[in-house]
């Protein structure tokens, strides 16, 4: 991480008598082989004094938890710099590459092999790069450094000899040169030479395929290709790479992105800014925090089960106690622009790329209206220091068109952020394009599966500002827990992939965590069939009183609803937000009545807060809606996110930094914003914080969708209904 701490050590265990509530036992000491390796390489590292490496200030290999202390560098990592500013020009790449090669030459002369050269392990100071993280104190891989058959390094940057897990003895200085070649290719093009994807796919291409270097400038391509030779003996030395890149003389700072010196200065100031004591204040407990996207990706469905279980357990406690109270447009063309009337103030543009003429045009139009209203209200503020403008593009929900539109928007340097995807396919098509242009890409209307699309986890400019899809099953489990249903069933639609299994597993475990004595049966429906009859009859035969459709397809959910009705099932039915579409309501017809849905969006017209009332009135007035008309879904969320982005711009400007794409991307990750609908913000690992924001809707007679509130509010309503009727209705 940028400006990482200089001391890499966990605090030692306290002495004395065991505490009343015992703490987790400290980790066992490292095995002797690792400790000896650490001792030997720490001594070597202390002798490394090259200009382009971070100096080691001290180490204690004999401590229970061996530690190593290094200089502190306040600059961002090369990885973060690329995320903020995009690929660097060839002169900057040559200057940085020569200095990194010089750092490797010093390491190799001292008998060290880095083994993990990558952009995240390069910090940028004003006078050039600093190579960090020599792989000495790395817990996950340290013991493996002396083991055979262990792959050491980061896929995408490791050499073929590392990828083959041939043993540490065969990994020498040429492996670092190979990694440096990967870094050079990535920094100058923004693309990894062996692509992305699963670890197995990247490793296979590294060992067997030639690198993709077509976008590397012709003057650099022969050197990069030589560094990426499969045979270690065919690669140049680090010294040769340094000399081929022009040596370490000449300027560096002016070759770096223009906003970088200001960013480094800001972080340096943070280090020097000592805390000032403040009066003691009583604050409410923080909201529950769910796992980050990275945690869900790493832990898979297990992490999802833990989160859903924790939220359901909280719900179980509440139930057990007293509770508390314009269509069309050209492909990629600008459909409409709202400009600021800010006089001589600067104007920053927010783009809306959404579906205005395709299958989700209603949701797209709601997002556009929410953004326009936010911009108009912001520009009416007398205290503003800049104005906002809007440019709207229709992608029709088509991935190919979305990609072309994103490319056009990326070239429009006036646009600093984009709001509006309506499907996972559109996100996949556009996210990398926006990332390559350092453009904020904010998503409120669709959730993606990060285990299927892992590349999105590493896209710093992609902001999914909503609860993840899988957790929305709380809309159904709320009813199960409130009514204390003894038996429930899950219809797992295999057309949804692994999410169907994850939903079923999460439901079962979260009900158990809530202390509900509920038996759960699971019934699969193959992706190749449209016949839900056998599963529906099995649900009926199981005696279940509730059933969750674990899938994402509105049309297939409608078939499931009809099959359940035909089988005589009359219990509680539920699904998640993705299903609550016109195709489900029209396809299921009258049998959709009574279905419950967990959603990420809220109905602001049903909220009692003053901000929500003010927004609802302003929205209806602005768009000619009747006083009884609902506010379209995602309009409030788009309104909130627009103002959150404006607040981020204000913070960047107040810090004396230029309001640019890269700075906005970075600062938005640090913001927590209270909107009219809900809260928005990210944790330190870039995961959306407020995963407990799940809302419940119910289909009423005539296909009308009613809003029941936050899942805890909905639980109270279900509890009250049960008391009034004497049984679950």
Is 116 marked active-site?
yes
CB-CB contact of 332 with 357 (8 Å): no
Q: In a 3-state reduction of DSSP, which class is residue 5?
A: coil
β-sheet bridge partners, residue 68: 8, 59
The catalytic position among 102, 106, 116, 603 is 116
Q: What is the pLDDT of residue 167?
A: 46
Please give the Cα distance from 52 to 240 (Å, whole number).
Answer: 17
* Count of Cβ atoms closer than 10 Å to residue 148 Cβ: 11
For residue 351, give the nearest of 415, 411, 262 by alpha carbon.
Answer: 415
What is the predicted pLDDT for the residue at 68?
A: 81
Q: Other CB atoms closer than 10 Å to residue 515's CB: what's the count?
A: 14
Listed as ranges, residues in the chain with pLDDT below 50 are 1-26, 136-149, 166-168, 276-290, 294, 296, 298, 322-330, 332, 340-342, 728-729
- 3-state SS assignment for residue 84: helix
Residue 145 token pair: 């450094």
Cα–Cα distance measured from residue 537 to residue 519, given in angstroms and rounded to the nearest whole number: 18
Looking at residue 236, the DSSP 8-state letter turns out to be P
**DSSP secondary-structure letter at 662?**
H
| Predicted local confidence at residue 514, as pLDDT | 80
Count of H-run helices and E-run strands, the chain: 24, 20
Reported as type and span, the H/E element at residue 603 is: none
pTM equals 0.64
Choose among 52, 93, 112: nearest CA to 183.
93
- In the numeric block, which tokens belong to residue 22? 């015992």
Query: Which residues pair with residue 351 across a beta bridge?
Result: 391, 418
Print burial letters for 332-364: b (CB count within 10 Å at least 16), e (below 16): bebbeebebebeeeeebbbbbbbbbbbbbbbbb
* pLDDT at residue 542 in the model: 94
Confidence at residue 302, expressed as pLDDT on a 0 to 100 scale: 57
Tell me what pLDDT residue 14 has: 34
CA dihedral 540, 541, 543, 545 (to 10 degrees): -10
Q: Provide the sign of the torsion angle of the four alpha carbons 501, 504, 507, 511, taken in this order.
A: negative
């Amino acid at each position: 991480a940028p400006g990482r701490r200089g001391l890499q050590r966990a605090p030692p265990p306290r002495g004395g008598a065991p505490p009343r509530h015992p703490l987790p036992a400290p980790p066992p000491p490292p095995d002797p082989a690792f400790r000896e390796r650490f001792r030997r390489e720490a001594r070597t590292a202390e002798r490394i004094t090259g200009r382009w490496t971070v100096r080691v200030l001290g180490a204690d290999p004999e401590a229970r938890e061996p530690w190593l202390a290094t200089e502190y560098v306040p600059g961002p990592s090369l990885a973060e710099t690329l995320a903020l500013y995009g690929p660097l020009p060839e002169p900057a790449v040559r200057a940085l590459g020569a200095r990194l090669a010089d750092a490797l030459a010093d390491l190799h002369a001292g008998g060290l092999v880095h083994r993990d050269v990558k952009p995240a392990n390069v910090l940028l100071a004003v006078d050039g790069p600093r190579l960090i993280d020599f792989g000495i104190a790395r817990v996950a891989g340290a013991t493996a450094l002396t083991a055979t058959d262990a792959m050491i390094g980061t896929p995408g940057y490791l050499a073929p000899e590392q990828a083959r897990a041939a043993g540490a003895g065969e990994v020498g200085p040429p492996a670092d040169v190979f990694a440096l070649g990967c870094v050079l290719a990535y920094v100058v093009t923004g693309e990894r030479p062996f692509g992305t994807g699963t670890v197995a796919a990247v490793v296979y291409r590294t060992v067997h395929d030639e690198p993709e270097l077509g976008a590397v400038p012709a003057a650099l391509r022969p050197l990069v290709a030589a560094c990426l030779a499969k045979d270690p003996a065919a690669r140049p030395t680090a010294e040769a790479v340094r000399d081929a890149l022009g040596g370490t003389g000449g300027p560096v700072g002016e070759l770096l992105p223009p906003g970088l010196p200001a960013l480094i200065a800001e972080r340096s100031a943070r280090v020097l800014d000592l805390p000032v004591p403040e009066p003691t204040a009583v604050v409410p407990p923080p909201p529950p925090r769910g796992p980050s996207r990275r945690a869900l990706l790493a832990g898979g469905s297990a992490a999802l089960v833990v989160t859903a279980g924790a939220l359901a357990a909280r719900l179980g406690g509440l139930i057990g106690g007293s509770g508390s109270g314009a269509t069309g447009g050209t492909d990629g063309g600008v459909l409409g622009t709202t400009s600021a009337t800010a006089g001589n103030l600067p104007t920053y543009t927010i783009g809306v790329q959404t579906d205005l003429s395709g299958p989700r045009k209603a949701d797209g139009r709601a997002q556009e209206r929410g953004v326009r209203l936010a911009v108009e209200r912001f520009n009416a503020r007398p205290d503003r220091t800049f104005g906002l403008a809007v440019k709207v593009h229709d992608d029709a929900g088509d991935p190919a068109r979305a990609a072309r539109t994103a490319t056009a928007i990326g070239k429009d340097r006036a646009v600093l952020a984009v709001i509006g995807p309506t499907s996972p396919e559109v996100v996949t098509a556009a996210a990398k394009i926006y990332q390559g242009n350092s453009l904020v890409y904010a998503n409120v209307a669709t959730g993606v599966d990060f285990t299927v699309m892992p590349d999105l986890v590493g896209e710093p400019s992609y902001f999914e500002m909503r609860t993840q899809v899988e957790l929305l099953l709380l809309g159904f489990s709320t009813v199960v827990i409130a009514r204390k249903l003894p038996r429930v069933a899950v219809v797992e639609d295999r057309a949804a992939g692994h999410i169907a299994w994850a939903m079923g597993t999460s439901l079962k475990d979260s009900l158990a965590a809530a202390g509900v004595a509920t038996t759960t049966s699971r019934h699969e429906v193959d992706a190749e069939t449209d016949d839900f009859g056998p599963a529906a009859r099995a649900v009926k035969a199981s005696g279940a009183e509730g059933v969750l459709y674990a899938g994402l397809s509105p049309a297939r959910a409608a078939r499931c609803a009809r099959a359940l009705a035909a089988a005589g099932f009359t219990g509680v039915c539920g699904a998640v937000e993705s299903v609550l579409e016109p195709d489900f309501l029209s396809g299921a017809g009258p049998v959709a009545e009574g279905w419950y849905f967990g959603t990420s969006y809220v109905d602001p017209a049903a909220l009692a807060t003053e901000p929500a009332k003010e927004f609802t009135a302003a929205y209806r007035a602005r768009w000619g809606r009747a006083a009884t008309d609902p506010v379209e879904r995602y309009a409030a969320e788009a309104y909130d996110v627009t103002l959150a982005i404006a607040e981020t711009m204000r913070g960047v400007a107040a810090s004396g930094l230029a309001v640019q794409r890269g700075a906005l991307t970075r600062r938005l990750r640090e913001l927590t914003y209270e909107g009219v609908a809900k809260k928005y913000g990210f944790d330190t690992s870039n995961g959306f914080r407020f995963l407990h924001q799940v809302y419940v809707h119910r289909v009423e007679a005539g296909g009308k969708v009613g809003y029941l509130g936050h899942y805890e509010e909905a639980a109270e309503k279900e509890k009250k209904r049960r008391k009034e009727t004497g049984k679950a209705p």
